[in-house]
């Protein structure tokens, strides 16, 4: 310190403290999620780290999440007091879970990697039905992910070991053996299998005569595991005279059918039917969750309840009969429910013929490239019988022209395949004759010697 600074400092008895209070900055309000901030939602959830807020229906979260059931009833009921997501669950994670409840297509089609993520997030949020659904989807889907995580899930849920064979192989062919921390992740049984397979692979390398490949060794080692497979979710099954009943928490629309009334969420009626959206009274902002609307539909109550089962069944999967799908399809056609109609029509089996299926593809705007639509077109275009007069009268001119063009294209393609096969057969025949002539020439030359 410079001596000159001491000269201007006040004496100790004149030094005093100044209490300076710094006003904290106002917190930045959370941003509404782009998809899952629903107008008629009655439950608010915030992802604190991402500063994103969701507005959804408490019905699904309280029914399916044991963790949310353990929270105070007042939490999440107001935008000023939202429920904070549990640790390590991001806004993106929560949106993936919400997709399970709000998938517009009703198909719940996702990749193996996406279902794997759903399973892990559902574990954190304690959603047993979502976990079972994810596992039932994962059984038949390839999953490219961290091998440790995949084996851990396979062991934890008793999934057949062949499902995780690629993960076992990856751990077995890498240069370094398992560490203690990695062994803790996958568990003792899996750790023993990996160690066994690595030892056998090392012995095979030492023994130059062994022709066993690493994948064969791993397949044999893990095939010895006879752990039982997990129990898949039991789908909801309804008889033809059975009503689907469900108490919907936070319902805001009363639907009157010919013989029954149902309380449902406005969101599902509006998202699936532009006609019902027009029939419902518009609600002012902020009144969606406090004003109850009503609507009358000219349909049987049992048939309409089967549509509600698509949204509200607790097991998240349903097994509908072809006859039930035909009834749902009729309601969907009447009230412009394209995605519900497409979903039901694809499950009608032989209850409706190919012509009705083609009409449904057009009526419900099903993409022609979808698996189900492609199969329908393939069946109609590959059959030998032409389009009959009766069938043509059931089709619009536009659809009839399209079908005729598709059938003609299929026939020309088949002709090209036949011609290509014939050319290949001719080449094979010529090659065979050449080989026989060469064989005879060599045989004759040997006899002469």
pTM given for the model: 0.79
Compute φ and ψ for 264, nearest 5 degrees: -140, 175
- 295 strand-pairing partners: 255
pLDDT at 36: 97
List of residues 6+ apart from 108 with CB closer than 8 A: 100, 133, 137, 316
pLDDT at 292: 75
Closest Cα partner for 391 from 357, 364, 362? 357
Handedness of CA 238, 243, 249, 251 (dihedral sign): positive
Residue ranges, the chain, pLDDT below 50: 1, 3, 6, 428
**Contacts by 326-332 with C-beta closer than 8 Å and gap 24+?**
326/351, 326/352, 327/300, 327/303, 328/303, 329/360, 330/303, 331/297, 331/299, 331/303, 331/304, 331/307, 332/307, 332/364
What is the C-alpha radius of gyration for the chain, rounded to an integer number of angstroms?
Answer: 33
To which CATH superfamily is domain 236-352 assigned? Potassium Channel Kv1.1; Chain A (3.30.710.10)
Q: Which fold has domain 30-132?
A: Potassium Channel Kv1.1; Chain A (3.30.710)
pLDDT at 341: 95
pLDDT at 439: 53
* Residues 363, 355: Cα–Cα separation, whole Å: 12
Fold agreement between 30-132 and 236-352: yes
pLDDT at 173: 92
Q: Are 348 and 329 in contact (CB under 8 A)?
A: yes
Per domain, the residue ranges of the chain are 30-132, 140-231, 236-352, 356-449
pLDDT at 127: 95
């Amino acid at each position: 310190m410079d001596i000159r600074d001491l000269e201007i400092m006040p004496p100790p008895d004149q030094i005093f403290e100044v209490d300076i209070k710094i006003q904290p900055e106002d917190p930045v309000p959370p941003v509404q999620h782009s998809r899952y901030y629903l107008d008629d939602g009655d439950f608010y959830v915030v992802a604190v780290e991402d500063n994103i807020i969701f507005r959804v229906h408490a019905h699904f979260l309280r029914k399916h999440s044991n963790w949310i059931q353990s929270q105070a009833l007042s939490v999440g009921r107001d935008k000023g007091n939202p429920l904070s997501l549990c640790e390590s669950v991001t806004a993106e994670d929560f949106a993936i879970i919400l997709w399970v409840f709000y998938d517009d297509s009703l198909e719940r089609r996702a990749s193996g990697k996406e279902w794997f993520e759903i399973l892990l997030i559902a574990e954190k949020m304690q959603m047993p039905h979502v976990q079972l659904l994810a596992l039932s989807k994962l059984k038949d889907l390839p999953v490219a992910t961290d091998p440790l995580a995949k084996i851990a899930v396979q062991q934890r849920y008793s999934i057949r070991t062949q499902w995780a064979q690629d993960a076992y192989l990856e751990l077995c062919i890498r240069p370094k053996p398992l560490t203690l921390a990695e062994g803790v992740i996958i568990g003792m049984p899996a750790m023993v299998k990996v160690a066994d397979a690595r030892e056998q692979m090392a012995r095979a390398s030492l023994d130059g005569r062994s022709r066993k490949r690493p994948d064969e060794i791993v397949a044999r080692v893990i095939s010895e595991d006879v752990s039982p497979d997990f129990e898949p979710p039991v789908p909801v099954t309804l008889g033809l005279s059975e009503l689907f009943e469900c108490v919907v928490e936070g319902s805001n629309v009363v639907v009157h059918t010919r013989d029954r009334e149902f309380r449902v969420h406005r969101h599902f009626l509006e998202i699936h039917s532009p006609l019902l959206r027009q029939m419902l009274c518009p609600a002012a902002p902020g009144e969606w969750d406090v004003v109850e609307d009503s609507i009358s539909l000219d349909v049987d109550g049992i048939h309409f309840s089967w549509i509600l089962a698509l949204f509200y069944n607790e097991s998240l999967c349903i097994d509908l009969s072809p006859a039930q799908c035909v009834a749902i399809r009729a309601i969907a056609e009447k009230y412009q429910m394209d995605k519900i109609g497409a979903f039901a029509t694809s499950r009608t089996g032989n209850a409706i013929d190919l012509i009705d299926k083609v009409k449904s593809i057009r009526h419900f705007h099903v993409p022609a490239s979808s698996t189900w639509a492609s199969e329908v077109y393939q069946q109609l275009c590959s059959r030998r019988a032409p389009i009959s007069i009766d069938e043509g009268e059931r089709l619009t001119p536009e659809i009839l022209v399209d079908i005729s063009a598709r059938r003609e294209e299929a026939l020309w393609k088949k002709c090209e395949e036949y011609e290509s096969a014939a050319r290949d057969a001719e080449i094979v025949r010529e090659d065979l004759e050449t080989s026989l002539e060469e064989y005879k020439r060599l045989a004759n030359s040997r006899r002469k010697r």
